[in-house]
Structure 1
Amino acid sequence: MDKLKAMATFVRIVDGGSLSAAADAQGQSPASVVRSLAALERSLNVRLLNRTTRQLSLTEEGRDYLARCRRILAEVSEAESALQERQKGPSGTVGITAPETFGRYHVAPLVNRFLSDHPAMRVNMVLDDKVVNLVEAGLDLAIRIGHPRDSSLVVRPLGHMSTVVCASPDYLASKGEPLTPQELEHRPCVLFAPQGPLWGFHDRTVRIDPTLVTNQIESARQACIAGLGFGRFYHYQVREALTDGTLVRVLEAFEPDPSPVLLTYPHSQLLSRRVRYVIDWLAPRLTPPQDDRAQP
């Protein structure tokens, strides 16, 4: 008996829900699938499946053996892929998501470089300031800013990023600079919608009453530059405006601790070799733009 083939057949039976479905998937007759399962059970001296004329159900031993079969078959597949990739390099498609502005300036150039160096690879890149569910979106990894809220994700730290409040110099010259965060509750503010109206600072939280709410960072940034009020951003989102003086950083003494910049991916022992390759390639190159005050 070919033990690996029998294990693969067993997994096919469970995934397909029937012996006939497994037979169709493997291009075999139902009788050969029955013989393979029976031989596997005899070799293990346990029953893996309870079988009736209408349905199949896993035994307790079958559930444990199924998990082990999946892991072993995945490792065999990865070992074979590793040998192939050693000869011809990685291939296939990897899905990546990142915040829109950070992705445009810092992730996309690296992806372009990666694809130039690895012509057999393909990348599906989604730049969105909303937190995308990787599994539901069919993506493999994400670059995110902030503490993870999903415990099913593996996180790989890349650095830290400050959260800053800023306004235009003309607005500050006309209306004055706030001395405490509480003043923002009574001053015009521009809100990037996903943030919500509660702005956290080092030792307090304030609720703003926004003059403008927008779902685009660029719109929020331009509104602040135009003098419509105060905006709250990650440092990288307004780095150029702070450098050229079109925005001014305020309330620095009250800023919260910097947020971690993370490369995240689903927690799985079946992480494909091509995804692992992309993660290991990106991580050392994908460092956040420096902000001298962004220390963990």
Structure 2
Amino acid sequence: MDRLIVMKTFVTVAKSSSFSAAARELAISGSLVSRHVADLERQVGVRLVNRTARSVSLTDAGTRYADFARRILSEIDEEDTALSESRDRPEGTLSVICPKWIGTLDLGDAIAAFVKAHPLITMRFELGGMSDRNYDFLERGYDVAFHTRDLRDSNVLVRRVSELPFVLVAAADYVRRHGAPTTTAELAEHQCILHPNDPVWRLGAGAETSHHKVQHPSVVANSYLVIEKLVEQGAGIALIPRRPAVERLASGDLVEVLPQHQPPARALYAVHGPGGHTPERVRIFLDFMTVWFRSRPAAHAA
């Protein structure tokens, strides 16, 4: 029989000096109380109580063991309470992982704002190293993973945090030298810079959607920051996240290409572990990210 259960029963008997009173307090039968005490005596190998027809008293060994059991049960209760309270406080370590290209966008600014607002939470933020398995981040000790693909997996919980708008751009200097395409078909006549995650550019929406496969890219780079730098230097046309390019679009250094065929935004999802109770630090982080991005909607980046 479970040692902690019989210890609790024994402590209750020691307090009340009665099997029947202990049974009432524990909401179990008197015979079960007697069996618990007998089982504990077998486990420890000594007699713990003196039984008479009218009363129950502790032996010397029983008095000693009752003190020990009270201390152990009290420490367990205290630790359970401390863990429960820590779960419900916005503090501790929060581990987050996301693809490199997302982390180098303004998600980094959002996390920096979160760290400033919640100094009791220690942030561990890792870029890259993502697995194809949706729940792998949990096994590796992360609390939250960011994705841009729609996940349907009962092993995880998913929250849509924001949208990441994209834009097809070129440098103003490139457009002056080479002109700007007026149709998606004309992209084949231009130098195009490609991210390996985007071998096919989806442009437009609804019935106007077209797909352009970049056949002979002038440059392939797996960093949108690098691609943006290449675009700024006039190396060609590229599909990049809109938010980091807002200021250069506003200044005219960058020019939106085929604005009548704007690429669709990509949803940003935060994925975390299932369970009946989300840790407070995780819940606060998800709420903060949602509000942070909502205060900077995609429309403001246009």
User: TM bucket by the smaller chain?
Assistant: 0.5 to 0.7
Per the alignment, residue 246 of structure 2 pairs with 239
Q: Distance in 2 between matches of 1:170 and 1:129?
A: 37
Q: Distance in 2 between matches of 1:160 and 1:78?
A: 40
Gaps of 5+ in 2: 7-38, 44-78
Per the alignment, residue 126 of structure 2 pairs with 126
1:1-296 pair list within 5 angstroms: 81-83=83-85, 89-98=89-98, 99-103=102-106, 105-116=108-119, 118=120, 121-128=121-128, 133-135=136-138, 137-144=140-147, 146-149=148-151, 151=153, 152-195=155-198, 197-202=199-204, 203-208=209-214, 209-269=216-276, 271-287=278-294, 289-292=296-299
- Name the aligned partner's letter for residue 117 of structure 2: F
Aligned length: 223
SS in 1 for 2:175: helix
8 Å Cα contact 1:134/1:141 also seen in 2: yes
Change in 2 beyond 3 A, CA 1:244/1:111? same
SS in 1 for 2:104: helix
Q: Distance in 2 between matches of 1:240 and 1:292?
A: 14
- Name the aligned partner's letter for residue 230 of structure 2: A
Change in 2 beyond 3 A, CA 1:5/1:252? farther
Change in 2 beyond 3 A, CA 1:97/1:162? same
Change in 2 beyond 3 A, CA 1:293/1:286? closer
Change in 2 beyond 3 A, CA 1:134/1:287? farther
- Tell me the CA shift for residue 230 of structure 1: 0.4
Per the alignment, residue 24 of structure 1 pairs with none
8 Å Cα contact 1:78/1:273 also seen in 2: no
8 Å Cα contact 2:110/2:292 also seen in 1: no
SS in 1 for 2:269: strand
Deviates more, 1:221-230 or 1:282-291: 282-291
Q: Distance in 2 between matches of 1:78 and 1:277?
A: 22
8 Å Cα contact 2:87/2:279 also seen in 1: no
Change in 2 beyond 3 A, CA 1:129/1:284? farther
Q: Distance in 2 between matches of 1:4 and 1:288?
A: 52
- Tell me the CA shift for residue 128 of structure 1: 4.1
Gaps of 5+ in 1: 7-30, 36-76
RMSD over aligned CA atoms reads 3.6
Change in 2 beyond 3 A, CA 1:223/1:178? same
- Tell me the CA shift for residue 191 of structure 1: 1.2
- Name the aligned partner's letter for residue 287 of structure 2: D
Larger Rg: 2
- Name the aligned partner's letter for residue 234 of structure 1: P
TM-score normalised by length of structure 2: 0.61
- Name the aligned partner's letter for residue 150 of structure 2: P
Change in 2 beyond 3 A, CA 1:137/1:182? farther
Please give the per-residue CA displacement for 1:232-257, whole angstroms capped at 9, x wherever unaligned: 01211322321232211111211233
Q: Distance in 2 between matches of 1:243 and 1:94?
A: 36
